[in-house]
Amino acid sequence: MRRVLVSGASRGIGRAVASIFAEHGDRVAVHYGANADAAEQTLKGLPGSGHIMVAGDLRDPNATRAIAETAVRELGGIDVLVNNAAVAPSAATRHAIADVDYAQWQQVWRQMIDVNLLGAANLTYAVTRHLMDRGSPGSIVNIGSRGAFRGEPDFPAYAAGKAALHAFGQSMAVTLAPHGISVTSVAPGFVGTERQETKLTGPEGDTVRAQSPFGRVGTPDEVAAAVFYLASAQAQWASGAVLDLNGASYLRT
């Protein structure tokens, strides 16, 4: 039985990740930033027992440290961290350079970098120091994005933050390997979460699905399955890897 902290686990990919660990007998800390009701739904849907909810704003370094401390205290430790929480692309965060003023540009960049990169980095620090103090091995899996490689013209801060998250994970993989801690990332393409339902059922849906030669988008469960494998002891040798999960919609060379 492992103790697993999943950031941004109130819905979507985070909920699927929390579920797959719980289904295999692990205890999960379901982190959420603001949506307590959705996090409660995630918690109630987890099989097994001993799971908890942890609230905290990843934009705040002190709150981020408190998230890790609460999970350690309530679960009795943390063995796996999944950095999933993110400010995602949406109509509210669109910031194509030709369409926003300087104040909007600054606001979205700060918002995305504070959560998507610095929040993940600070949470990684807190969990890693806990593992090092225990002298225990562990796993960290970062949820990156296809956009880190192909770019996101309407959401450049999102792409830049995810690219930096991939690079951060690789740096941590090198420095943490002597401590038995593996660090990997997954880079999903378009995933059919609740948040994307309107787009997928609207006029853009067919275009989005056509990005992949499979003619569909990914599912949260597919991402969760990859995360579960990368967090396993059998995947330690994959440390430093960034795994593409985009249905051949974007091929890196």
229 is catalytic: no
pLDDT of 30: 98
CB 224 within 8 A of CB 13: yes
3-state secondary structure of 218: strand
CA 59/CA 120 separation, integer angstroms: 10
**What is the chain's percent helix, strand, coil content, to nearest 5?**
50, 15, 35
Q: Please tell me whether residue 117 adopts helix, strand or coil conformation.
A: helix
Annotated catalytic residue, options 102, 158, 229, 250:
158
Which residue's structure tokens are 């990914």? 218
Share of the chain above pLDDT 90, in %: 94
Q: Show the tokens assigned to 142.
A: 């970062």
**Third-level CATH fold of 3-245:** Rossmann fold (3.40.50)
CB 122 within 8 A of CB 58: yes
pTM for this entry: 0.96
Walk along the chain (253 residues) and give the pLDDT tens digit of each residue.
999 999 999 999 999 999 999 999 999 999 999 999 999 999 999 999 999 999 999 999 999 999 999 999 999 999 999 999 999 999 999 999 999 999 999 999 999 999 999 999 999 999 999 999 999 999 999 999 999 999 999 999 999 999 999 999 999 999 999 999 999 999 999 999 888 888 888 888 999 999 999 999 999 999 999 999 999 999 999 999 999 999 999 999 8
Q: d(Cα 182, Cα 14) in Å, to the nearest integer?
A: 20
* pLDDT 10s digits, 99-133: 999 999 999 999 999 999 999 999 999 999 999 99
For residues 127 and 175, what is the distance between their CA atoms, to the nearest angstrom? 14
**pLDDT for the residue numbered 201:** 87
Query: CA triplet 223, 196, 191: central angle to 5 degrees?
Result: 20
- CA separation for the pair 87, 69 (Å, rounded): 23
Helix (H) or strand (E) holding 132: helix 120-134
- The CA-to-CA distance between both ends of the chain, in Å, stands at 38
Q: Render pLDDT for 68-108 as a digit per residue (tens, 0 to 9).
A: 999 999 999 999 999 999 999 999 999 999 999 999 999 99
138 vs 132: CA distance, rounded Å: 9
Q: What strand order describes the sheet that includes 27-32? A: 52-55, 27-32, 3-6, 80-83, 138-143, 181-188, 242-245
